[in-house]
Amino acid sequence: MVWGSPGPADLAELPISSALHATLDDLAAQYDSSLNWDYPPDPGPWREARCARFNADVRAALASLRAELGPSYEIADEFGELHEDPDLDRYLADPKGFKR
């Protein structure tokens, strides 16, 4: 969440470079691909190495966002990091029969 004055900021309205806008849009699309769209509570498809790359890209994008916006904005990092679901192998072995 990005906060400016007087409250939450609309990402499309932020005074940031087009390259950073593109990066943030790409990260949002990547995040969407981490979800299991057939049944979201079940494990997503990403292995730990893919999660680690995404987490690093998010940290870099946050650093760029903070640098481009400066002190006039507060950026709350509420996202946390993604990690491979410990049940992924069991899910992949039998998606239809998978139960947590």
Q: pLDDT tens for the chain, 100 residues: list them.
A: 565 555 566 778 889 999 999 999 999 899 999 999 999 999 999 999 999 999 999 999 999 999 999 988 888 877 789 999 999 999 999 999 999 8
What is the full DSSP assignment across the chain? -EE-SSSBPPGGGS---HHHHHHHHHHHHHHHHTS-SSSTTS--S--HHHHHHHHHHHHHHHHHHHHHHGGGSEE----------TTHHHHHH-TTT---
Domain boundaries of the chain, sorted by first residue: 38-100
C-alpha triplet 50, 58, 20: angle, nearest 5°: 125
pTM, full prediction: 0.85
